[in-house]
Amino acid sequence: MLVEGTLRWRVTEDCPFDLLVGLCLRDLAGLEGFGDPALPAVVPAVQRQPASRHVLAAARSGWRPVERDRPPELAAEWLRWWRRAVVRANAAASWRTVFLPPHFAAFDRELALQDLVIERFADAAAWAEERRAEYLAADRAHRAEHAHDIVEVVRSREHELGRQAGSFRLDIEALPLASPGAWVVGPDTVVISWSLRDDHVAFRRWFAPLVAALV
């Protein structure tokens, strides 16, 4: 996890396990395109193979493939959970998780989603653990470069204004997404693709106007 800043401002970057699991489950269930904002599919891609419990939950909830203006129950439950997870990701250590087998009690009020989690958690967790390990390895290798990108953009803005940066906080969730880009998912939280984060020129080009708005 990257933390950069001063007493006045702070930028964090992480790749939380729960967000990885959540996006993997979304794609396993064939719910790509759902979300607010809708994030791209994960990479490497996961294969949709809904298992029996998921099928039963789908039948019970009236689930059927995507009706964008009238999201099915499973999609609506996933979206409610995702909004909570984004907030929680910035309030808890990234290794802490609500995905606690075998009963996954955190989803007791979201039965269609709970059925999906029970059925597919092993697949999603294995995928997420691999991605988390990749992120941590890249973080160890390139943390100084990423920190430099952040600090230099803020300093450049300070020189442009002729004053120190005001108080602000930004939490960046770096996730393995199929399309490069950045998406605002909360008041102080942005999701960015790994491909954007690893492209130093593109990252600075994206980050500079954001800092200008914050500073």
Helix, strand, coil percentages for the chain (3-state, nearest 5)? 55, 15, 35
CB 29, CB 48: distance < 8 Å: yes
Q: What confidence tens digit (pLDDT) does each residue in 46-87 have?
A: 987 644 444 444 434 444 444 343 347 999 999 999 999 998
**Mean pLDDT of the chain, nearest integer:** 87
The total of structural domains in the chain comes to 1
> What is the length of the chain?
215
Predicted local confidence at residue 92, as pLDDT: 63
Burial of 145 (0-12, 13-18, 19+ CB in 10 A): exposed
Q: What confidence tens digit (pLDDT) does each residue in 130-168 have?
A: 999 999 999 999 999 999 999 999 999 999 999 988 899
DSSP state of 41: P
CB 75, CB 130: distance < 8 Å: no
Angle between helices 111-161 and 52-61 (to 10 degrees): 90
Q: Letter for the amino acid at 182?
A: A
Predicted local confidence at residue 33, as pLDDT: 77
Expressed as residue numbers, the domain containing 99 is 2-214
CB 203, CB 45: distance < 8 Å: no
